[in-house]
Structures are given as structure tokens and as C-alpha cells.
Homo-oligomer: A and B are copies of this chain.
Amino acid sequence: VAGASVAVLGGGSWATALVKILNDNGTPVQWFIRDAEIVKSIQTVGRNPRYLSSVEFDPSFNALHATPKDALVASDTVIIAVPAAFLQSSIEALPVDAWKNKNVVSAVKGMVPGKNMILGDFFNQVLNVPFESFGVISGPCHAEEVAMEKLSYLTLASQNPELADTLCKLLGTRYIKTTPSDDIYGTEYAAVMKNIYAIASGICQGLGYGDNFQAVLVSNAIEEMEKFVKAVHPISRDIKDSAYLGDLLVTAYSKFSRNRTFGMMVGKGYGVKTSQLEMNMVAEGYYASACVHEVNKTYHVPMPIAEAVYNILYNRYAPVMEIRLLSDKLS
């Protein structure tokens, strides 16, 4: 998009996919990547060696930066695409002023650890970013399929309709269709909660429950999600839209979801810690489970599936018994 100056923070697969989309749309990126080896590889051979390595970048098209500060200085729109767990450490060196007059756009599918806040609230309350300058990128969108240019859909949310429209133009390409939305809370929470339900789905698969049960689980999960986001932010929304239901489906039915795999190990009887060590990473839904549990202390929404996952992960309840009790609450 002509005249846009966009920064992307992050060097993982989702960040890499977003830079590809922006580039394919003619937009160069001020790109912050912490890992110096990845920076060097993109600058020399035009590839991110660790994530989506099949994607080719024109080495001279983007400006790579070793600090977020350098990326922010040259941009008016900043897309945050680091894992939620690293958000605060990634930006702690930046003064609050660095965010002034920037559009801040979250592509983070998680909540701020320790604060139990979605990014919209975090940037607003902690870093003084007004809601009219805040946006969310969401949708059922595996980065791997973006790399293959398989047709995908993104929803771009902002309480500022102009920003939502600008983001739609920035990210719409021949293989990405975009839809604007005004629902930053619903899209952020859906992106967080789907990982909890993907863990639930994995646990049930690990315990031997079949496809019939999974269909009931996912149907109940989307109803549970609807009730929760309605309690947190009661605006008009159709939870069956692809930013909510679609995002849940692509995660809960994915064979490659880390959250689902983590849940499956727990369901098969490996301990929570063992499962995390074995996977050599922490599934985002593990943190999301605790965050949503804390937030729900304010709202008291009945969420039997999310609570079962919480009880299994944090209270060490036996999965076999916890899911059997859960099964009586589903219909």
C-alpha cells in the first residue's frame, strides 16, 4: 500500500508470514528480529532459516533491525508478532514515548503473562496507546499455508473503522482475503481461548474419545467461548464468523497444533511437566488456561471445558476422571 511505513516485531513463523504478505502487496517492512543469525540470513540469502524457510525475500526490500527501537523510529504502524511470553522482554527497553502516534497492531495470540490482559488493554493501560490506534490481526490462518500461498482469510479488528480498513488494504493480496471488524476483545480472546480448547481436544483424543465426541466438544466449546466474550465485552457479534469459529476449527482439528499435541500427551498419561519437556516448548494454551481462569474470577461464566483443562494442568486432576465428569455437562 502506497506510503505505508510498517514495522514488524518478531522473527517466528507468523511474523515471517506477515512480512511475506506485506512484501507481496508492495509494502517494505522495518523488521525487528532478535536472533542475529536469522537477520544475517535474510539479509544475505533472503530466507529465514528457522521458520518458513521456503519463503524467499528480496534481501534489499526490507530494513532489518537488531532492536525494536530502530524498527519503530521509521514506521507509523507497528505489527507485534512475538510470542506472548516474550512480549514484555522484547519491548521493555523502549520508552513509553516510542509508541506515541503509532498504530499498534497485535498479531499475538496470547495474553500478557502476569497481567492477564489482552494486548489491547495492555497497550492502552500500560503504554498509553489509545484504542483508536490499536488493531488486531486474526483469522483461521496457519503460517505454513500462507507460505504456500493457499487462499486464506484474515479479520482485521479495530475500534477505529479507518484503521481496520487500512489494515485490510495492507494485508489483502491475491491469496489473502480480508474482512474488517470492530471487535478487538472478541478476536483477541478467541485467539487465546482456541488454544485451551485445542488442549481439551488433544486430552480427549489421548484418552481414546472418538470423532463423535470431538464434534460435541467443539460445539460446546464455541458456545462456551461465546458466553465468555459476551460477558467480557458485550457488543453485537456472530461467534460463528471465521475469526472466532473458524480459528477454533483450524486449531482444534489440526494435526500439527502444538496445543493439541500437548493435550494428547497429557491425555495419554504423561505428566504436564514431562509433556512440556518432551515437546521442548510450552504450548500457548497452557498459559492461556491460567489467564482465562483468573479473568473469569471477575465474570463467573460457567466454562466447564476450560475449567476441566485448568484442573488437569494446574490442579493435577486425573484426566480420565475430569473428562468423564465433563462429559456429563456436554450435550
Question: Which residues of A are interface residues toward B (Cβ below 8 A)?
Answer: 139-142, 145-146, 148, 150-153, 155, 177, 179, 208-216, 218-220, 222-223, 226, 238-242, 245-247, 249-250, 253-254, 327-328, 330-331
Contact = CB atoms under 8 A, between A and B. Distances in A.
Nearest to A238: B223
B215 A242 contact: yes
Contacts of A223: 238, 240-241
Given A142-B210, A151-B212, 10 more contacts: A140-B212, A140-B219, A150-B212, A151-B213, A177-B331, A211-B250, A211-B254, A212-B250, A215-B242, A219-B240
Contact of A140 (B141, B216, B328): B216
A239 to B, nearest CB: 7
Contacts of A214: 249-250
A301 to B, nearest CB: 16
A128 to B, nearest CB: 33
A261 to B, nearest CB: 16
Contact of A242 (B148, B211, B220, B254): B220
A272 to B, nearest CB: 24
Copies of this subunit: 2
Contacts of A215: 140, 242, 245-247, 249-250, 253
Contact of A153 (B150, B212, B238): B212
11 contacts: A140-B219, A145-B210, A151-B209, A153-B213, A177-B330, A211-B253, A211-B254, A214-B250, A215-B253, A219-B240, A253-B253
B240 A239 contact: yes
A142 B253 CA distance: 17
A240 B211 contact: no
Contacts of A222: 240, 245
Q: 5 shortest A-B CB distances, which residue pairs?
A: A140-B215, A150-B210, A215-B250, A152-B212, A215-B246
Contacts of A246: 215-216, 218-219
B141 A212 contact: yes
A68 to B, nearest CB: 29
Contacts of A216: 140, 152-153, 242, 246
A146 B226 CA distance: 30
A240 B222 CA distance: 7
A209 B150 CA distance: 6
A211 to B, nearest CB: 6
Contacts of A212: 139-142, 145-146, 150-153, 250
A222 B141 CA distance: 19
A228 to B, nearest CB: 14
A203 to B, nearest CB: 14
Contacts of A250: 211-212, 214-215
A237 B116 CA distance: 34
Nearest to A181: B331
Nearest to A155: B331
B241 A210 contact: no
